[in-house]
Structure 1
């Protein structure tokens, strides 16, 4: 029997989750907001027609599944859209057991347009049984195959399955392709992880403590069904039977402890190595599936844009990419040319983002001509110009590489400096920060703010700035930097920020890169053609030799920005980002020497699209 709970008020497709500023949010507020990431807002009071099931997966582990049906569903076979989540498929009141609304704006849109939805608690989470042995594990990938196989054999399924989601469930949507199940016809990975070691857990080889400590606390509360902190309880599959699976969840590892111990990409993170816990590990299987993808992502969302572009270049699956200027989940604008300390609506709007997904599924699961056949391969936002551009290739046609060289007096030059001994010394200032609303903290659902004026931060760093440009410069792609440097300490880190400086001297953040210096050894990887690549494997790590010049080459996260005539390009160099990463070294204050002469050339290499 289908359970139905009446709606008590109208629910539009888009509803704001919170009107607090980021500074006012406690970790509890963040966690509650994170349960329903921006674009996918909860629809309070929406009628829910659903059945709950336990479905056996790998080893017989029972997974909790809610199947939602359109209003006035009369038994016809329909395509099924699947969300495999780590963040509870449904909730209920902890005291009364009254189901709390769990449909979100995208769910409502899909149901209203003739889809059945299946929401699944991953093993070791929610009302599912089992113990977690890591995140995105191979076991979890195989579990998804069992659930899809069960779905397509139900009387309400027409045999066509799509997967969707944002953040964790965006990644599991892509990983569903790796199962090879023939019923999977299309997926929408939203703001998904691609290389989990580098984004979001250990960017640059450093633990992203600011993010991972909060996320670890959040998922621990979920796993323990902490009603005090979350304000609700996981919804039971059978309302008359307690959730026995939660007793097993008590044995789930603490993610922060795993992440702290797993220093290298080939380290164990639970029962599996880091390198086994992301779509990159499943490249061959995903490629062989040929499942079409609509990829939604944002330039400023951790390193998700890099994963999106690597996938587009190196996975042969049919793909459409929307690369936005938005926060994690697509909820807020992030452009430093638009955003200061106040929230700005996203581009595209939340409603437009949802419609893109519906059009995509309609084409691949229902055979409707929804217009996606005419979409370009990639639409990407261009900062500075503040508009979208289109391309059917990546990188865009005509891309060239242009180098700017570090020179004396903080000048960034177009030619190599002719000095024989030029060097700048910088004592690391551990007060440097990109703030608490940056590309890493947005992974917890926070907006990105206050990157529109970096002058105060720049004063704490070593900076190099070009003369005002004589014409516009279009940067699109992955920058990288090569520095010849020495350090007074064997442990340390380097951070590099690319900035736009306007005619008034105001600097705006464009993108960043970094490296824990023990990972300076370069490796080869066909996916990083011409871009410095670091394996982050234990065997390739070594301490810095004290006071000896080392060549450090590293990528910055990809971007697209129009630096206008009269503006300048700046790079700012530091050894810390205090609100995001741990202090390196834990004790002592290194002095970094940056060499910028004809014998030891230091430069930034920019991907440029000529007019």
Structure 2
């Protein structure tokens, strides 16, 4: 939901060039004003000068990749093999207009076409539907916005109702689908249209692309939701029922500024800007996102300012329509990017549309590598150039009938950190996995066999810093926990035995807590890390639970409904059960490594404040890991950058 909108060619672009801090946010699809695609490097240049490496550092990293990453990737062929494509056209032309909706609300559009398009030539259209500003306010055409047009597509950019230069007040989720459908009606009537439409985008704009697929419009043939959220409540704003305070507060501030005109490019017929002023004036009626999200604490809470609850804002609210549409999808996600991977797996399991899914170890947008077992600054695999070529091949297949068997296969590709290898599967979870269960012992160990007893612990709040899995959605920076490992070590923790054989953990870990105490309305945060034989620690995943929302619902991916009716008081002084899921991950740990579980009562300032509390944790508490032994893995994981592992 926060920050990024995908533009063709690589790098998620900051919505408008109105302030320098927006320009620093480089992810998958929009490095503005960059060189043509064929001249791009395969990694995103570091946008922060203070973090630039000298030539010796770069050579060391390249040598590291040759020695350790390349052999691992050779275990299974990389799924990224889309060839470079020669542009069909040399330049583009842009036009903009207001398109009235049936209720009279005017929606701002830009249409970028190949320059010199011969009369009678028909093109498919790809859309980007955004609330971050459809184009730079200065009217320029970013180099990467030319990518699809020079390869024979029309590129249609749309300011959502109540945002940018469009009139009206903002809507979210299923309430936006009607406007999208009317715009597609207009597109297919244009003289250049071949009657086929696709959409893509990153983060929020990925969600709008997926919502377009649910519109049921017959012209919509393919969409690519990239680094987007499937369920806003569980995957982003209230994971585990815990309010993600900092993320939504910052996002609310940013979007309020944009709705006030900072992201509004006037259409070309509005020569004096008077229409733009009227549109922006209507945006003043947009609701306060932060206040509404904070108040809507349950999944079925009515979100103030909207006509519905969280389900109506999310893709989960249109699952039936998506299934009926059978629109094919290309999806990129990361194990470490907020909770997006959770929704990606849920989608693959529950929606039978053709899906080509890639789950890697990237930051939000895919411009940086977030593999905790590789040095900081390692180029992402694949780079943004190759990610964009995969997107082009996908749309060429579905919108132009270009033959491509890979785009026709329903398959999920996932990257296993530690092994640093891509795998693929047609089902989730993959075959061969079984539960590996550890017990939380009274001596603060993770035991393989249950023992009687309990341990009393004081659960304090901690802080995961400003490079955690949530911050990248706001900053566009990398995801790294190396600077907070000492904070995890200071928490109540449980350390497992050294592994006698390598294991692969792939899927969603589950922590079954059995505890008692005089506990207020509190939260539990769980952090899973790996410790190598030298004592260096590597981040794996984390999970949370608001204890009053602990009622189990096995039909839910995270085992809880988060409905108001399922709120349960905490029994004071009595033993009770609290099951919480951690975010899915795929990691291979060599022989000799240990698993470590750390517990806290909060994460400030990321989440809403939660009271520290003392609890008795019974040894019947379990940590369940979907895993399998990997005796074939004999290579040890090298030092992730020397001094400071993730």
TM-score range, shorter chain: 0.7 to 0.9
Spell out the pairing of 1:382-421 with structure 2 (5 A cutoff): 382-417=416-451, 419=452
Q: Say whether residues 1:609 and 2:628 are aligned partners.
A: yes
Residue in structure 1 matched with residue 127 of structure 2 by the alignment = 82
Shift of 1:280: 1.0
Q: Tell me the TM-score normalized by structure 2.
A: 0.83
The Cα of 1:89 is off from its aligned counterpart by 0.4
**TM superposition shift of 1:100:** 3.0
Q: Does 1:427 align with 2:463?
A: no
- Does residue 56 (structure 1) correspond to residue 100 (structure 2)? The answer is yes
Closer, same or farther in 2 for the Cα pair 1:510/1:253, shift >3 Å? same
Match status 1:347 vs 2:378: no
1:326 maps to which of 350, 357, 362: 362
Whole-Å separation in 2 of the counterparts to 1:474 and 1:104: 42
Match of 1:6 in 2: none
Which stretches in structure 1 are left out of the alignment for 5+ residues? 1-10, 19-26, 94-98, 227-231
Query: 2:321 aligned with 1:285, yes or no?
Result: yes
Give the secondary-structure state (helix, strand or coil) at the position aligned to 2:603: coil
The answer to whether the Cα contact below 8 Å between 1:484 and 1:602 also exists between their aligned partners in 2 is yes
| 8 Å CA contact 1:453, 1:508 repeated in 2 | no
Distance across 2 between alignment mates of 1:402 and 1:121? 49
1:113 corresponds in structure 2 to 151
**Which residue number corresponds to residue 300 of structure 2?**
266
How far has the Cα of 1:370 moved from its partner?
Answer: 3.7
Residue 299 and residue 457 in structure 1: after superposition, are their counterparts in 2 closer, same or farther (change >3 A)?
same
Shift of 1:17: 7.9
Distance 1:28 1:576 in 2: 33
Please report how far the alpha carbon of residue 536 of structure 1 lies from its aligned counterpart in structure 2 after TM superposition: 0.9
8 Å Cα contact 1:359-1:372 kept in structure 2: no
Q: Say if 2:140 is the partner of 1:100.
A: yes
Residue aligning to 2:586: 560
1:170-319 aligned within 5 A:
170-226=206-262, 233-242=264-273, 243=276, 244-269=278-303, 270-271=305-306, 272-319=308-355
**Match 1:465 to one of 495, 501, 504:** 495
Match for residue 571 of structure 1 among 575, 597, 603: 597
Cα pair distance change 1:15/1:224, threshold 3 Å: closer
What are the Cα deviations for residues 193-235 of structure 1, in whole angstroms up to 9, with x where unaligned? 1001112111121211121111101000000014xxxxx7533
How do 1:489-508 and structure 2 match up within 5 A? 489-508=519-538
Query: 2:459–2:492: 8 Å Cα contact kept in structure 1?
Result: no
Contact kept? 2:10, 2:387, Cα under 8 Å: no
Q: What CA deviation, in whole Å up to 9, does each residue of 1:242-293 have, x standing for no partner?
A: 2021110011112111111111111111222111111111111100100000
Give 2:618's aligned residue.
595
The 5 A counterparts of 1:354-373 are 354-373=388-407
1:139-154 alignment, distance < 5 Å:
139-154=175-190
- Decide whether the 8 Å contact of 2:228 with 2:340 is kept in 1: yes
Q: Kindly tell me: are residues 225 and 453 of structure 1, through their superposed partners in 2, closer, same or farther at Cα, counting changes over 3 Å?
A: closer
Whether the aligned pair in 2 keeps the contact of 1:31 and 1:218 (CA below 8 Å) is no
> How many residues matched?
561
Contact 1:92/1:235 (CA < 8 Å) preserved in 2?
A: yes
Decide whether aligned partners of structure 1 residues 92 and 16 sit closer, same or farther in structure 2, where only a CA change above 3 A counts. closer
Secondary structure at the aligned position of 1:287 is classed as: helix
Q: Which moves more between the two structures, 49-58 or 119-128? A: 49-58
Query: Would you say the 8 A contact 1:30–1:444 is kept in 2?
Result: no
SS across alignment from 1:39: coil
TM-score, normalised to structure 1, is: 0.87
Secondary structure of 1:444's counterpart equals helix
Distance across 2 between alignment mates of 1:176 and 1:14: 22
> Are the structure 2 counterparts of residues 237 and 488 from structure 1 closer, same or farther at C-alpha, using a change threshold of 3 Å?
farther
Provide closer, same or farther for how the CA distance between residues 214 and 453 of structure 1 changes in structure 2, counting only shifts above 3 A.
Answer: closer
Q: How far does residue 579 in structure 1 lie from its aligned partner after superposition?
A: 2.8
| Structure-2 residue corresponding to 1:42 | 32
Corresponding residue SS for 1:301: coil
Change (3 A) 1:267 1:14: closer
Tell me if the contact between 2:505 and 2:588 (Cα under 8 Å) persists in the aligned partners.
yes
User: In the aligned structure 1, how far is the partner of 2:485 from the partner of 2:345?
Assistant: 31
Q: Per-residue deviation at 1:57? A: 2.6
Farther-moved stretch of structure 1 (289-298 vs 48-57): 48-57
Contact 2:161 2:167 in 1 (8 A): yes
Matched, 1:580 2:624: no
Give, in whole Å, the separation in 2 of the partners of 1:399 and 1:511.
Answer: 18
Taking only aligned residues, the RMSD between alpha carbons, in angstroms, comes to: 2.3
Structure 2 gap segments, 5+ residues each: 1-6, 37-90, 631-646
Supply the distance in 1 between the matched residues of 2:106 and 2:8 (Cα, whole angstroms). Answer: 34
Please report how far the alpha carbon of residue 59 of structure 1 lies from its aligned counterpart in structure 2 after TM superposition.
2.0
Q: Distance in 2 between matches of 1:362 and 1:499?
A: 42
Deviation at 1:514, TM superposition (A): 0.5
Instruction: State the Cα distance separating 1:50 from its structure 2 match.
Output: 1.2
- Aligned position for 2:565: 539
For residues 318 and 336 of structure 1, what CA distance do their matches in structure 2 show? 31
SS of the residue 1:225 aligns to: helix
**Corresponding residue for 1:131?**
169
**How many Å separate the matches in 1 of 2:324 and 2:410?**
23
Partner of 2:505: 475
Query: What does the per-residue CA deviation read over 1:402-429, in whole Å, with 9 as the maximum and x for residues that have no partner?
Result: 2111113221111111x2xx22222232
Contact conserved, 1:563 with 1:569, CA < 8 A, in 2? no
| CA pair 448-240 structure 1, distance change in 2 beyond 3 A | same
* Compared CA separation, residues 17 and 181, structure 1 to 2 (3 A): closer
CA distance in 1, matches of 2:381, 2:27: 16
Q: Secondary structure at the match of 1:489?
A: coil
- Tell me which residue corresponds to 1:8: none
Whole-angstrom CA distance in 1 between matches of 2:104 and 2:554: 41
Question: What's the secondary structure of 1:523's corresponding residue?
Answer: coil
Cα distance between partner residues in 1 of 2:437 and 2:176:
45
Give how far 1:576 is off.
1.3
- Contact 2:464 2:603 (8 Å CA) reproduced: yes
